[in-house]
Structure 1
Amino acid sequence: MRRSVAGIALALAVPFGISATDLAAPAVASFNPAGFDFWVDSSMGPIKNRIFRAADGNTNRVVYALDGLRARNDLSGWEVDTDISRVLPQWNINVVMPVGGMSSFYSDWIAPSNTNGQQRTYAWESFLTENLRWALRDRLGFNPNGNGVFGLSMGGSAALALAAYHPDQFRYAGSYSGYLNISAPGMKEGLRLALLDAGGYNIDAMWGPPWDPRWLRNDPFMFAPLLRANGTRMWIATGNGQNGPRDVIHKPIDVYHLGNAMALETIALANTRAFQLRLDSLGPTNVHFDYTPVGVHTWNYWADQVYKMLPDLSANLG
């Protein structure tokens, strides 16, 4: 019975979609004309990125912001659903927002998905740590070392993986509502359904069948010792699955979306608690955990975490 809990919760979230953008977003957030498109070639073809320059013009302080499962192909959710592209540059931080990568977990897949006509194999880890990293250095002069990376949900798990396996590039990693115990009972089954719902992707094309060692490589619970050994500064946050006054319901269907956001955050909370126990078992680790008294799987709470994390992030960049 225990094996199916996470899978059932994720499956229940699928029919109405698991995008957090269906609930109220900050009124001030929108396309930010201060940013510019930065195209970089890759094995996946040309990839668009949005760049927001630090207010003081420095090129040493750089952070990457990773999107969630339903990442769009035109703009990052961080730009259109939050105001971080306006706030972080005022802290003299250069912000890099990769665009696209729906359901990718920002990882290198083993094959194109055979369920949605995908033509090219996802290679997001290689793109972020090779193609984009060196293009930012060579064309914009950005520091390729000591960067930060943070993300929500799918992007939170990916941020920790990037820091674990590329510590020279990423010394700081933030995860908000991340799935940090992917090998937990029911998680693989639930993620299979979620990827099918978000773009029709076959999860077997990502890390192979459930027994493939790539699953363990990409599970934060399993690679936690690397983060400790690297001395990675981490900010790990999640809500408790309970909605609050900010979760405004605009129309009847939003009740379903709110229910999905509550269920997904409850899973993220369980995953994060397990990840914390794993880190605690390893000894002292350079990590801050933030559990909010309310919070569901929506942009309001993720933006809050960026602003709460910002002084710590700023102190650890460059």
Structure 2
Amino acid sequence: MAARSGRRRAIRGWLGKACTVIAAAVLVSSVGAAAAPAAPIHAPVLRAPAGGYEELWVPSSMGPIKIQVQWAARGGGAALYVLDGLRAPNDHSQWTSDTDALRQFANDNVTLVFPVGGRSSFYTDWYRSSSTNRQPITYKWETFLTRELPDFLAGYGVSRTNKAIVGASMGGNAALVLAAHHRDQFRFAGSFSGFVNPTFPMWNQAMRAAMWDEGQFNVDDMWGPAGDPAWSRNDATAQAERLRGLPMYVSSGNGMPGPPDLPYGAVNTVNAMALEAMTMTAAQIFRDRVAALGIGARIEIGNGTHTWPYWRQGLANARPMILDALGAH
């Protein structure tokens, strides 16, 4: 869960059964060279420098949604969707500013797609607009990511079916859930420090506190009260059977800080430690569930906290699996 606020800050968030809000965010200045939007063509071409991106606006039921795109190095149709965290900025993806994701895939034959915005959305279709912050639109992120965005990118030669999807924190569970319900579209799914078991007791209240802290959003308008079927539908662990046969990478830290945490300061590191202890529990629950079902997945739990340097490394670890699944070397 991350957002913009001047220079680099570490994650703020929530913890505990009391659902006390712990502040959360990691921030660095924006990087990348964005070109002006271009009209769709029939095949992708490299429009931005290697390691850079182009910005496009995609029509949707929520209004125009910005995406940042690094085109496949050799004009291939494969795509990787990369999802942000809870505090997703409305002007850029933090993957393009806080990690080297662009550089990692600069020479690969896969188009990287970074949706912009969607803070506190969990990248899902909400029942209705949030009633506690006068939200003018109803979030429909599943519709956007699985219908409107693929249709738009098809005009640029990007495949609707040869895609991978990954995400950090809020985006981690969403990546697995979207792949579970749209197996015809995604050939790989990955989660980095994702809360992949939101139906775990009391976690709905933790989400309520976090979403209120980030924009005064109402979780009941998203999936209804605890026990509503939408909670189970949007729980990667509950939907594990639908992921059978899909290459997956799930990573989490154990809350123990390391050298990547040094720039963030003691207070922020403590908050990030607490958040990552929660994602570790979720990753362990998911690991046990898929093991019981006999479903293959690469699941790694090591030292680390809820911060971008660890998610950058998670993406680097997943990269060979992504390229293999997409045939995009």
Compute the TM-score of the two structures, normalised by the length of structure 2.
Answer: 0.87
- Structure number with the bigger relative contact order (C-alpha 8 A, sep ≥ 6) is 1
Cα distance change of structure 1 residues 189 and 84 upon mapping to structure 2, 3 Å threshold: same
Q: How far apart are 1:134 and its partner, in Å?
A: 0.8
Q: How far apart are 1:249 and its partner, in Å?
A: 4.1
Three-state SS of the structure 1 residue aligned to 2:260 is coil
Partner of 2:280: 269
Cα distance change of structure 1 residues 10 and 89 upon mapping to structure 2, 3 Å threshold: farther
Partner of 2:16: 8
Three-state SS of the structure 1 residue aligned to 2:326 is coil
- Displaced runs of 4 or more, over 3 A: 9-12
The residue correspondences of 1:156-171 to structure 2 (distance < 5 A) are 156-171=172-187
RMSD of the TM alignment (CA)? 1.7
What is the distance in 2 between the residues matched to 1:171 and 1:205? 31
Q: 1:151 aligns with which of 164, 167, 174?
A: 167
Q: How far apart are 1:90 and its partner, in Å?
A: 1.4
Q: Is 1:74 matched up with 2:88?
A: no
Q: How far apart are 1:7 and its partner, in Å?
A: 5.2
Three-state SS of the structure 1 residue aligned to 2:61 is coil
Q: Is 1:227 matched up with 2:243?
A: yes
Three-state SS of the structure 2 residue aligned to 1:150 is strand
Q: 2:321 aligns with which of 305, 312, 315?
A: 312
**Comparing both structures, which one devotes a greater share of its residues to helix?**
1
What is the distance in 1 between the residues matched to 2:204 and 2:263? 31
Partner of 1:137: 154
Q: Is the 8 A contact 2:75 2:109 kept in 1?
A: yes
What is the distance in 1 between the residues matched to 2:84 and 2:157? 24
Cα distance change of structure 1 residues 299 and 10 upon mapping to structure 2, 3 Å threshold: farther
What is the distance in 1 between the residues matched to 2:230 and 2:254? 29
What is the distance in 2 between the residues matched to 1:258 and 1:249? 9
2:256 partner amino acid: Q
2:321 partner amino acid: D
Partner of 1:31: 32
What is the distance in 2 between the residues matched to 1:165 and 1:118? 27
What is the distance in 2 between the residues matched to 1:240 and 1:30? 30
Partner of 2:255: 241
Q: Is 1:119 matched up with 2:136?
A: yes
Q: How far apart are 1:244 and its partner, in Å?
A: 0.6
Q: How far apart are 1:55 and its partner, in Å?
A: 1.7
The residue correspondences of 1:99-110 to structure 2 (distance < 5 A) are 99-110=116-127
What is the distance in 2 between the residues matched to 1:85 and 1:9? 38
How many residue pairs align between the two structures?
297
Unaligned runs of 5+ in 1: 1-5
What is the distance in 2 between the residues matched to 1:222 and 1:10? 24
What is the distance in 2 between the residues matched to 1:76 and 1:87? 16
Identity of aligned residues (%): 41
Q: Is 1:97 matched up with 2:132?
A: no
Compute the TM-score of the two structures, normalised by the length of structure 1.
Answer: 0.89
Q: How far apart are 1:64 and its partner, in Å?
A: 0.3
Q: Is the 8 A contact 1:221 1:278 kept in 2?
A: yes
What is the distance in 1 between the residues matched to 2:300 and 2:31? 27
Partner of 1:44: 62
Which digits, 9 at most, give the CA deviation of each residue in 1:272-305, with x for residues without a partner?
Answer: 100111111111x23111122x100000000001
Q: Is the 8 A contact 1:295 1:301 kept in 2?
A: yes
Which digits, 9 at most, give the CA deviation of each residue in 1:65-110, with x for residues without a partner?
Answer: 0000000110001001011112213122210000000010100000
1:45 partner amino acid: G
